[in-house]
Amino acid sequence: MLSTLKTIVVNNQTINIAADEAALFSALSERITQFAKECIAHDGVFSMALSGGSTPKGLYRKMAQLSEQQFPWNLTYLFLGDERCVPHSDSDSNYKMISDALLSHISIPSTNVFPTINQDKDPEDSAKTYEQTLRRFFRPKDKSQLELPHFSLALMGLGTDGHTASLFPNSAALDEQTHLCVANKVKTDSFDGTRLTLTRPVFAHAKKLFFLAAGDSKAKIFNDVVSHPEKGYPSQLVIGDCLPGAVEWFVDEPCARLILKE
| Banded pLDDT at 142 (limits 50, 70, 90) | low
* 177 occurs within a structural domain: no
The 10s digit of each residue's pLDDT in 107-127 is 999 999 999 999 999 999 999
Is residue 38, in this structure, part of any structural domain at all? yes
Instruction: Give the pLDDT band (50/70/90) at residue 188.
Output: confident
Whether 23 is covered by a domain: the verdict is: yes
Domain with residue 251: its CATH number is 3.40.50.1360
Asked if residue 179 is part of any domain, the answer here is: no
The span from the CA of 27 to the CA of 212, in Å, is 12
Residue pair 119/90 in contact (Cβ under 8 Å)? The answer is no
Query: Rounded to whole angstroms, how far apart are CA atoms 90 and 191?
Result: 16
| Chain Cα centroid distance, residue 161 | 17
Range of the domain at 213: 2-117+149-166+200-261
Q: Is residue 240 part of a domain?
A: yes
- 131 domain residue, yes or no: no
Terminal C-alpha separation, the chain: 26
Relative to beta strand 192-198, strand 181-187 is: antiparallel
Number of domains in the chain: 1
Whether residue 205 is contained in a domain is answered as yes
Given a cut of 80, whether residue 170 has pLDDT beyond it is yes
pLDDT of residue 139: 87
Please indicate, yes or no, if residue 158 is contained in any of the structural domains. yes
